[in-house]
Amino acid sequence: MEITVTVNGQEHTREVEPRLLLVHLLRDELGLTGTHWGCDTSNCGACTVWMDRIPVKSCTVLAVMADGRDVHTVEGLETPFGLDQLQVSFMACHGLQCGFCTPGMLMTARWLLDRNPDPTDTQIREAISGQTCRCTGYENIVRSVRHAAEAEAERAS
């Protein structure tokens, strides 16, 4: 099937098998390997991307379902001025260790901050509850999201 999908602002037309998963289109066809493929069962969240500004686990979405849609990956978080504040905060607050879950965490946390610029720790934990991190106790991830929220609020004032 021929599909056209806009990924990180760039339109791509591809001929795909009807059963191809979005995660494989992104990684194998488009070379966007920041989206990680971790479990194939939608449990880990490492493959989280946005489809029409809503977080989805790309291992559970067929590529044909993205036809005509707008998809954002972790590569799309970077701005013309450099890394997204959330990426900077993850580095500054040690919100990552092995980094495997980080793309999904970043996409989910950015979605949260775009809707709630001052989330509580409980709200942060709820937002990332569909993400599995096997290295951390989530404390530094929560701290990183809070740090980004504070930095963005300070910059806005």
Chunked into runs of 10 residues, the chain (157 residues) has average pLDDT values of 98 98 97 90 92 96 98 95 96 92 96 98 96 89 98 94
- pLDDT at position 41 is 79
Rounded to whole angstroms, the maximal C-alpha distance in the chain is 49
The CATH class of 2-74 is alpha beta
Residues listed for the chain = 157
CA distance 59 to 152: 31
- pLDDT at position 142 is 97
Contacting residues for 55 by C-beta, under 8 A, at least 6 apart: 48, 49, 107, 108, 111
Domain boundaries, the chain: 2-74, 85-156
- pLDDT at position 74 is 97
CA distance 110 to 145: 8
- pLDDT at position 49 is 98
- pLDDT at position 97 is 86
**Regarding beta strands 54-57 and 48-51, do their DSSP bridges make them parallel or antiparallel, or are they unpaired?**
antiparallel
Kindly report whether the global pTM for this prediction surpasses the value 0.85: yes
Range 85-156: architecture per CATH: Orthogonal Bundle (1.10)
Note whether 2-74 and 85-156 share their fold. no
Q: What is the pLDDT of residues 14-52, one digit of tens each?
A: 999 999 999 999 999 999 999 999 886 788 999 999 999
Whether 30 and 8 have beta carbons less than 8 Å apart is answered as no
